[in-house]
Amino acid sequence: MIAFLIFVVLPALVGLGLSFFDWDLFSTPEFVGVDNFVRLIGDAAMWKSLGVTALFVIMGVLPTTVLGFCLAVVANSGIRGASAFRILYFLPLVASSAVASAIWINIYQPRAGLLNSIIGLFGVQGPAWLTDPATARPALVLMMIWSALPVVIILYIAALQRIPDDLYSAAALDGANKWRQLWSITWPSVAGTTGLVLVLQLIGFLGGTLETALIMTGGGPLGETTSLALYAYNVGFERREVGYASAVSLFQLAILAVGFVLYRIVMHGRTARA
């Protein structure tokens, strides 16, 4: 609790306070009231970064959830190779964001990268993944999905192992095949875990783009990977507008809070109908 207060609560309160000031990291902070929040409304660059963030969320959250569920079903099955797969899916967890970004930068190299080398075997010339506006964002999303999958798979495996085997035995006696059992028993039984995964991935794709985009693309090309988190970082540490950067960060937090409240309302409605 002490560590949480020092490293989470206290910085959050300081950030909240700084959002009401104009400060360049060196001079004395100047109180400006709500001017920083009013400025958000007319900031075209901020709105563009918000759109980029929304695209990251749309492209990443649902695919990560669905793919994580499918891979968890495979890992939890008794098919040959499932044990080896459990080791492989855990590997991304041992790499930090910086290390993972460095690995994927090499994979995406236009000439000597692994991905373009594989594509070249089929006689196709691969693009410059991280410098082409058409491919930079999908390339980052793919890397983030790869990084997020281990936690999603672990959560789903834990949920799958809580489903009683008697349900599957009864369904088999009634003539339900594997696909029917997956859709009618497995998927509904892990609904609570799916909600948790969606919330965690929403948080991850809202804020996790900062380190990934900063290291891999620097927010380029042409701002195609400048998320809201990275925009706040650039405003605070490159333009040295710390107060306004704090306001942008609080705006992002408010978006996340609204998303969480909507999720709770939807889940409460589902529980009430059940």
27 DSSP assignment: S
Using CA atoms, how far apart are residues 223 and 134, in angstroms rounded to an integer?
12
Q: Which residue, 209, 263, 249, is CA-closest to 37?
A: 249
Which of 186, 154, 156 has its CA nearest to residue 168?
186
Q: How far is CA 206 from CA 110, 192, 209, in A?
A: 28, 22, 7
Q: What is the pLDDT of residue 273?
A: 61
Q: What is the pLDDT of residue 66?
A: 94
Provide the residue-wise pLDDT of the chain in tens; the chain has 274 residues: 999 999 988 988 998 899 999 988 888 889 998 999 999 999 999 999 999 999 999 999 999 999 999 989 888 876 776 667 777 777 788 878 888 899 999 999 988 889 999 988 888 888 899 999 999 999 999 999 999 999 999 999 999 989 888 888 888 888 888 888 888 888 989 988 998 898 889 888 887 788 889 999 998 888 899 999 999 999 999 899 999 999 999 998 888 888 778 777 776 666 656 5
